[in-house]
């Protein structure tokens, strides 16, 4: 594992230490890694949303569409028709 040193002003350092303790992380490094992982997930989700929005015309979301989703759930299906 690579090492990275980050300089923080005292108030931010205290915040990281407090959050690490309150959230049950063993070290501040674990807390920061968790923050970075969440940011990666958020960035990936954003990219998927943008890809979906630019992929072309979507389905019309009307009452029939949602009725079909409900019917599929009632029948144990995992995808809508």
Residue 60 domain-assigned? no
pLDDT tens column, 13-63? 999 999 999 999 999 999 999 999 999 999 999 999 999 999 998 878 999
Total tally of structural domains belonging to the chain: 1
Q: How far apart are CA 73 and CA 79, in angstroms?
A: 8
User: What's residue 76's pLDDT?
Assistant: 72
In terms of C-beta density within 10 A (0-12 exposed, 13-18 middle, 19 or more buried), how is residue 31 classed? buried
79 three-class SS: coil
> Which pLDDT tens digit goes with each residue over 62-74?
999 899 989 988 8
At residue 80 the predicted structure's pLDDT band, cuts being 50, 70 and 90, is very low
The domain of 36 spans 11-55
Residue 21 lies in a domain: yes
**Model confidence over 35-46: pLDDT tens digits?**
999 999 999 999
Whether 17 is in a domain gets the answer: yes
pLDDT band at 77; cut points 50, 70, 90: low
Q: Domain for residue 71, yes or no? A: no
CB 27 within 8 A of CB 34: no
Rounded CA separation 31/11 (Å): 16
Does some domain include residue 76?
Answer: no
């Amino acid at each position: 594992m690579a090492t990275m040193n980050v300089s923080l002003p005292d108030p931010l350092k205290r915040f990281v230490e407090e959050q690490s303790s309150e959230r049950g992380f063993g070290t501040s490094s674990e807390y920061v890694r968790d923050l970075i992982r969440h940011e990666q997930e958020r960035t990936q989700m954003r990219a998927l949303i943008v890809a979906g929005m630019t992929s072309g015309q979507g389905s019309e979301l009307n009452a029939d569409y949602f009725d079909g989703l409900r019917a599929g759930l009632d029948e144990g299906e995992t995808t809508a028709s």
